[in-house]
Chains A and B, each alone.
Chain A
């Protein structure tokens, strides 16, 4: 029992260190991921937290669609898991881009774990909830995450800053192309899972509330009939 508790404690200690070292771009974080196979669990924890926290930051959409409390919590957890899958795919895409463009091939598993570290700033994604300045904080967190990713690609591929920028940029374009082609069924599946989890089609927006309750939709309908 004590061993189990100690393992849990150690895991959260590593998780905290992983997040703080990544935020500071501390090489110790990279070394840890490179040297320890089990670092995958720590990185997965960071990415999971980032996914759940980011959805919490954007949770107005869940509230507006009147998602119930238990489904709300499950949605956050599911988004954490979806984030893990997304970052594995993203890691593979960037790795492939580097391999094709610069003929570099660091161990794929290690590289994917590294890419996961770049999500560390998004652990604070729940601050996007803050009224007025939340969306700005969200942008800052994304820029921070992007800079960590650049540093990781530069470090792993040894291709300099511009090479890393090219790699990440083309990787992003490749992801877009994938999402809009063979990725479509996958995206549809993801959306379906999300609808099942939330119990809502997630179609209502804040503007709909304005239109619905202010009577504007009825006025618009009336005008349509009057035409």
Chain B
């Protein structure tokens, strides 16, 4: 009986994995909504909506725990809040869902939306005993990450996400002709999707940068068009290290792969943050646990934010004064930026403990 269950579970996982590319391929083939047309990412649009008063645009692409553009794991909200505070001269865009070509969150117009809504409720209940069930979300989104990295599907998938990123930029006042820099900040799976979309977003007149926070990165062809990639990682994070193992183009044996050629061009910088893990205590967004042996006594999340500020400062995107001001800012609280319903539950759980 147990053997049958295990075989059934594996069969289900394999079938789900096989169906993973269908959403993006169906979108391209025009089976659902309108298929994309040439020049949608052309930079021809003269005006975006709203004021283009930002010095730069930073698009945050969430990790594989995200449910929609606005529903991400609770730990990411204070991080996004911290980014907004520290990068006041730029525009932070965090409503793109990088695991759907049509920016259709899992709780949107979908056949299994009811299932995702239930899982979302579990994910938004701090300390829930059913938290393990949210692994289904991670698995679903991890398959999309591999769709982005697969040369058979990547061109279609990454086009869809690039479309959505571009639409998000326009919604937030970006005007292509301004040539202002665009920074894609990808966390975990969002890192791979960020480098995938560069293939198309590089058509924009301004520079395009990618910051990967613990990203599982492949040797995506998009790397060849990148202005600079910074990959932030922790030594206690084996998931980000998987990218270097799973994708043959990242092996030193393949000097002509996009990854190794971009690395040889000096356009990839690998930055070790210290004893950071992918999940749990001591992850990249942990605003409570102090970093071991950090001279400034910062928390993990604070160090991640500070490093991003330093990168942008060194690249000349933010001024020395703004960077100095950002480094003096206090660490975001665990409930900063968190939707009120979740924050209330977090406070109640803390009080109970």
Contact = CB atoms under 8 A, between A and B. Distances in A.
Contacts of B19: 129
A66 B17 contact: no
A131 B155 contact: no
Interface residues of A, number: 24
Interface residues of B, number: 37
Contacts of B152: 60, 131, 134, 206
A218 to B, nearest CB: 9
A108 interface: no
B29 interface: yes
A69 B31 contact: yes
Contact of A206 (B38, B41, B153, B200): B153
Contact of B246 (A63, A126, A130, A132): A132
B14 interface: yes
Chain B interface, >50% SS class: helix
User: Which of A67, A69, A131, A134: most chain B CB closer than 10 A?
Assistant: A131
Interface in B154-171: 154-156, 159
Most buried by A among B25, B143, B147: B25
Contacts of B20: 129-131
Interface stretch (A42-50, A165-173, A176-184, A209-217): A209-217
A89 interface: no
Contacts of B25: 59-60, 63-64
Contact of A130 (B18, B35, B41): B18
Given A131-B146, A214-B199, A206 B36 contact: no
A127 interface: yes
B28 interface: yes
A62 B29 CA distance: 9
A201 to B, nearest CB: 15
A213 B41 contact: yes
A131 B153 CA distance: 8
Interface string B194-210: 00000110110000000
Nearest to A211: B155
B149 interface: yes
A213 B154 contact: no
Q: Which of B143, B155, B246 has the most CB of A within 10 A?
A: B155
Identify whether the interface residues of A are mostly helix, strand, loop, or mixed: helix
B221 A210 contact: yes
* Most B CB within 10 A of own CB, among A63, A126, A210: A63
B147 A64 contact: no
A206 B151 contact: yes
A69 B14 CA distance: 23
Interface in B32-77: 35-36, 38, 40-42
B238 interface: no
A209 B40 CA distance: 13
A179 to B, nearest CB: 25
Nearest to A57: B18
A66 B29 CA distance: 4
A209 B143 contact: no
The 5 closest A-B pairs by CB, nearest first: A63-B25, A131-B146, A131-B150, A129-B18, A209-B155
